[in-house]
Structure 1
Amino acid sequence: MGSTSFFVTYMLPGALAFIMFGLGLSLTIADFTRVLRFPKSVLLGLICQILLLPLLGLGICHLFGLSSEFSIGIMILAASPGGVTANLFSHLARGDVALNLTLTAINSVLAAVTLPLIVNFSLIYFSEGEQSIGLQFKKTIEVFFIVLVPVLFGMLGKKYFPKFAGKMDKPVRIFSFLFLLLIIAGALLNEKHRILYSLSQVGIPVLLFNILSLAIGYILPLLAKVKYKEAIAISMEVGIHNGTLAVYVALSLLNSYNFALPAAVYSIFMFITAAIFSLILIKRNKEVVYAD
């Protein structure tokens, strides 16, 4: 991993900060206050994201008897908020993108607190008697700043430089996608034996986690009788994670390549499953009459 120290120390945090800044460029104060318009949907989305996904991750780790390192990696992934790409897939599948923006805004703020809590719990729970100091306070503050500060600057840019924010929206989405591909390609090239091993060990668990995340985010809201477009939005928000943030926590904060492998594997799967799910929803959309 010595050859990747520059990537871990500078490129990864910088890229994540840029992605979060780009996310902020798409947000306004209305995205936070819109919770009054979607109270049930926002609550369901937060329950899925903050409570059910970590429980799902915990269950999958035990079901497949994963190693402590891979288990911690899955829990880091489960604790990561929805990614920028969730809004794009929601738009393609005719989901309620306004709800996506609201969930993304709230989850990004809450993640600054919930992510360190869940990561600390996982490090202690899966240490199996090994010495574990958890995510140190300094690192917790780093998560807070790397997540929130760029978002706040992005929101200020959106407010005071709306034309700039509009021009940056598409490039940031493309950059986010390409950077995830870069992470995956880097893992395949530099650690191909390890990534192949991790695919054999966590490929099925991670794929199952991905599919169940999408399903829970879709089915639970429908059972709660929220609007169909809102159920699509929640599903994409819950099923598409900020893989770059998960990799950042694993590599930059916890200095563990193995912790990052589940997020790298997940990033391979999530675009494929989200695309397939979107196609299914687009076909179903033709049979559904939306009631706004």
Structure 2
Amino acid sequence: MASSFFATSLLPVALFVIMTGLGLTLTPGDFRRVLVYPRGMAIGLGNLLLLSPLLAFGAAIIFDLGPELAIGMVLLGAAPGGTTANLLTHLALGDTALSVTMTAISSLASVLTTPLFLALATWHFLGDRPDATLDMGGIVIKILLITLVPLSLGMLVRHRATGFALRAEPWVKRAALVFFVIVVAGALFEARNEALGMLLAVGAATLSLNLAAMSLSWFIARKAKLDTRQSTAIAIELGVHNTTLAMAVSAMIAPIYMIPAAVYGIQMLITAGLFVALIQRRNAREPVAA
């Protein structure tokens, strides 16, 4: 898979729009909710920042993926929650405020955690190969530019021009959704010449990661005695990643690394959508926590 206009130009623009859209939804109060939901935040972020990448490592090993695809799997697992998770949590009548806060905090943390897990995956799967040496400093700076800069820009607009931000937010969300579809379709199109067997192997690995992450995070949340609304938010957050960020970071190395995130981007909407349909009625019966 050769580098292309899609990977080098369109993908960063798509992520910029998506992260700006997230920023338009955030206020300082969203970050203060860490103190309001300490147990839910600790469990949700612990699952998101540690459990998910480890499950991705496990899936890559169990399904015996090649080094590039295995590293792409880990990048996918290390990606933060996405704005789509917030929307699906809202539709499921889950704790949307908790979902938004987890997305915001994990997006900030991704500047450090994504390069960390990328370095670990590269060391584990590539070993002493010549292409195992990556410019981690450059990758950190690029992640900073494509995540925190647009996120901060969106928050600044929300603070300085709240009325405009509220009016623009639905349109930015629609644009973000369109860009998401474009980047997933573009990544899969670029992979059209790859071996079918490799794509099938990735599909099995990514689906297993998705189901394991959602199931285990739900189980952990319930065992910690969180209510079903908070457990719903955590399960969806673990299942619906910011795959655009995973693809953008992957494209910094080589387009083939994007394949797991692109395949996952389709699967997660199906599995999370089914989960929403199943849990919505149960959440409707549970009183909203004060």
TM-score when scaled to structure 1?
0.93
* CA distance in 2 between partners of 1:250 and 1:174 (Å): 25
User: Using the alignment, how far apart are the partners of 1:145 and 1:82 within structure 2?
Assistant: 18
Tell me the secondary structure at the aligned position of residue 70 of structure 2: helix
Conservation of the 8 A alpha-carbon contact between 2:82 and 2:242: yes
CA distance in 2, matches of 1:140, 1:60: 25
Cα contact 1:120–1:135 (8 A) shared by 2: no
Residue identity matched to 1:275? G
Q: Aligned residue for 1:87?
A: 86
Q: Distance in 1 between matches of 2:214 and 2:195?
A: 24
Q: Answer yes or no: is 1:73 the counterpart of 2:72.
A: yes
Q: Is 1:186 the equivalent of 2:174? A: no
- SS in structure 2 of the partner of residue 82 of structure 1: coil
Alpha-carbon offset, residue 138 of structure 1: 1.6
Shift in Å, 1:135: 4.1
Tell me how far apart the structure 2 counterparts of residues 184 and 105 of structure 1 sit (CA, whole Å): 22
Gaps of 5+ in 1: none
Name the counterpart of 1:137: 137
How many residue pairs match? The answer is 289
Corresponding residue for residue 213 of structure 1: 213
The aligned residue for residue 240 of structure 1 is 240
Q: Distance in 1 between matches of 2:5 and 2:202?
A: 27
1:76–1:188 CA distance, 2 compared to 1 (3 A):
closer
SS in 2 for 1:194: coil
Mapping for residues 54-203 of structure 1, pairs under 5 Å: 54-131=53-130, 132-194=132-194, 196-203=196-203
Measure the CA separation in 2 of the matches of 1:74 and 1:6: 23
User: Structure 1 CA distance, aligned partners of 2:276 and 2:195?
Assistant: 28
Cα deviation code 1:254-275 (max 9, x no counterpart) = 1x12210000100110101110
Q: Structure 1 CA distance, aligned partners of 2:275 and 2:168? A: 27
184 and 105 in structure 1: CA distance in 2 versus 1, 3 angstrom threshold? closer
Instruction: Give how far 1:189 is off.
Output: 3.8
**Residues 271 and 188 (structure 1), Cα distance of their counterparts in 2 relative to 1, 3 Å cut:** same
Q: What residue number does 1:28 align with?
A: 27
Q: 1:34 to 1:187 in 2, by over 3 A?
A: closer
- Give the structure 2 partner of residue 5 of structure 1: 4
Q: What's the counterpart of residue 46 of structure 1?
A: 45
Give, in whole Å, the separation in 2 of the partners of 1:195 and 1:240. Answer: 27
For the aligned residues, what is the CA RMSD? Answer: 1.7
Amino acid at match of 1:59: G
What's the CA shift for 1:171? 2.1
Q: Amino acid of the residue matched to residue 21 of structure 1? A: T
2: CA distance, partners of 1:189 / 1:57: 24
Q: What amino acid sits opposite 2:69 in the alignment? A: F
Which deviates further from its counterpart, 55-64 or 261-270?
55-64
Q: Which residue of 2 aligns with 1:274?
A: 272
Q: Is contact 1:90-1:233 (8 Å) kept?
A: yes
* Segment of structure 1 superposing worse, 56-65 or 42-51: 56-65
In structure 1, C-alpha distance between the alignment counterparts of 2:31 and 2:194, rounded to whole Å? 42
Note the C-alpha offset of 1:109.
0.8
Q: Deviations over 1:42-90 (max 9, x none)?
A: 0001110111111111111111111111110100001110011000000
What is the percent sequence identity of the aligned residues?
A: 38
Within 5 A, what are the aligned runs for 1:223-238?
A: 223-238=223-238
- 1:222 corresponding residue in structure 2: 222
Moved over 4 A (4+): none
Counterpart amino acid of 1:152?
S
